[in-house]
Each structure stands twice: as structure tokens, then as C-alpha cells.
Amino acid sequence: MKQPSQGILSTARAQDRQEVLKLLTTAYWMELETVASYVANSINPDGIRAQEIKESLNEDIDEELGHAKKFGERIKTLYGTVPGSKDFPKEQSYLQPPADPTDVVAVIKGVIEAERGAIEHYNKVIEFCADTDPVTEDMVIAILRDEEGHRRLFEGFLREIEGPGGA
Ligand SMILES: [Fe+2]
Ligand SMILES: [Fe+2]
């Protein structure tokens, strides 16, 4: 008779679990770096056009922090350890405060780039977890839905600012 499976928590699946933990840790850091970038860009920009962007980013901060917490919880469940701040990444060069604080296009493009990166990574996680860890897959699908929404929203902002001829 076939033994009931313990899935991703079983000893036999330790190797898959390590791989999932690696993917989750990357995701965790992406979310936290996004929180840092969005806090800065929800405060720094100047001008009338900046107000909508700042408000929108301000709302996103809680959502991105929520994502980071979800990734952290999943790391813990899979017998991993949520890393400390020494490993904090510096990947988002495209979301540094622009030289001109009224340059909202730079901020919008940076946000789109951050969301694009998250979408790419989460699709990778979903793909890997499809055969190995349906609970992580399920969680990341929900997060991916949020990131697709963020990206679409900021693509709309860019469209308005750059006009019909823009990207
Ligand atoms: Fe996120
Ligand atoms: Fe996002």
C-alpha cells in the first residue's frame, strides 16, 4: 500500500525544500527592498503630478510589507530562518531618488521595473512549486495578482504623462 505523503515537509523532499527556501528568501528581500524604495519615493517627489504617485506608493507600502511577512512565514514553515538585515540587498538602482525631485517619470518607470522584476521572479517560483509545493504556489499566485495590478496601475500613470506617443 502506498504511504500517505507529507509533501514538501517530508525528509525525502529536503532538496526541493532547500530550493523553495532559496526562492522564498529572494522574494522576501525583493519585497523589503521595495518597501524601502517606495517609502522614499512616497515622500521625496515634488509637484502637482507627484501627489497621485506619492499617495499610490504610500498605499502600496503596507501591501508590499504584507507580502514580505507572508514570504517570511512560509520560510519559517518550511524549516528555514528568516534572514537578518546584514543580507539586505542593493538591487533597485532604478528606484533611487532622481536628481530632480519633480522627475515623476523616473519614479514611475522605476516602480514598473520593480514590479516587472517581482512578476518575473514569482512566475519562476510558481513554476517550480507547481510540482513540489502547492501551498507556496497558491500563496505566490495571490501575491502575483497584486503585483500585476501595481504594474498595470503605474503603466497607466506613465501613459497619461507621456501621452499617446509614449510607451
Ligand atoms: Fe510585493
Ligand atoms: Fe508591488
CA–centroid distance, 99 to ligand 1, in Å, is 26
pLDDT digits (tens, 9 = 90+) for 114-161: 999 999 999 999 999 999 999 999 999 999 999 999 999 999 999 999
Mean per-residue pLDDT, 41-70: 97
CA–centroid distance, 133 to ligand 1, in Å, is 20
Mean per-residue pLDDT, 26-55: 97
| Residues that place a CB less than 5 A from ion ligand 2 | 147, 150
CA–centroid distance, 53 to ligand 2, in Å, is 14
CA–centroid distance, 7 to ligand 2, in Å, is 30
CA–centroid distance, 91 to ligand 1, in Å, is 15
Kindly write down the DSSP assignment for every residue of the chain, as one continuous string.
-PPPP-GGGSGGGHHHHHHHHHHHHHHHHHHHHHHHHHHHHTTS--SHHHHHHHHHHHHHHHHHHHHHHHHHHHHHHTT-----GGG-----GGGSPPSSTT-HHHHHHHHHHHHHHHHHHHHHHHHHHTTT-HHHHHHHHHHHHHHHHHHHHHHHHHHHHH-TT--
CA–centroid distance, 62 to ligand 1, in Å, is 9
Question: Which pLDDT band, with edges at 50, 70 and 90, does 5 fall under?
Answer: confident
- Tell me if the pTM is above 0.85: yes
pLDDT at 165: 61
Ligand minimally distant from the alpha carbon of residue 60: 2
Mean per-residue pLDDT, 21-48: 98
CA–centroid distance, 31 to ligand 1, in Å, is 5
CA–centroid distance, 145 to ligand 1, in Å, is 10
Ligand minimally distant from the alpha carbon of residue 115: 2
